[in-house]
Amino acid sequence: MKANIVRIGLGNTSGNTESPDVTRPGGPRGRDLKQTEAEHASLLFSLFKKHLVGTRALGAKTVESAMGAILGFFRWTGLPPWDWAPQDFADFIAHKVDESNIGLGRQATYITYLRSFQNFVLDSRGLSNDIHRKFGVQPQRFINDENAIPIKRKRHERKKAITPLSGEQCQQLIEQFDMEIRDAKLHGSKSYKPLQRDKVMVLLLLMTGVRVDELMHLRLQDFQPDLKRPEFGGYALMTVVLGKGRKSRVVRLYQPAIRDVMDWYLDDVRPQFLRATTPDPTLLFLSERGGPVCTEQVRRMLGRIAANAGITVRVTPHIMRHTYGTQMAAVIGAEALQRQLGHENLTTTLGTYYHQDPERVGQDVEQGITNLTNAINAMTEGLVDEDHD
User: pLDDT tens-digit profile of 107-130?
Assistant: 888 888 999 999 999 988 899 999
The Cα 217–Cα 388 span in angstroms is 30
Element (H, E) at 49: helix 35-50
Query: Which residues participate in catalysis according to the annotation?
Result: 211, 244, 318, 321, 343, 353
pLDDT score recorded for residue 385: 54
On the question of pLDDT at 177 being above 60, the answer is yes
- Residue 96: other Cβ atoms inside 10 A: 21
pLDDT of residue 58: 82
Q: Whole-prediction pTM value?
A: 0.54
Instruction: Give the model's pLDDT for residue 81.
Output: 95
Give pLDDT, residue 336: 66
Task: Give the contacts of 165 (CB within 8 A, at least 6 positions apart).
Answer: 173, 311, 313, 315, 319, 320, 323
* Model confidence at 233: pLDDT above 50: yes
Please determine, for residue 321, whether its predicted confidence score (pLDDT) is greater than 70.
Answer: yes
Instruction: Return the bridge partners of 224, or none.
Output: 237
Instruction: Please say if the pLDDT value at position 359 is more than 70.
Output: no
Do residues 193 and 273 make contact, with C-beta atoms less than 8 angstroms apart? yes
Cα–Cα dist 172/315, whole Å: 12
What's residue 12's pLDDT? 39
Domains plus CATH for the chain? 2-156 (no CATH), 167-380 (1.10.443.10)
Q: What confidence score (pLDDT) does residue 333 get?
A: 61
Determine which of 43-52, 57-66, 377-386 has the lowest per-residue pLDDT on average: 377-386
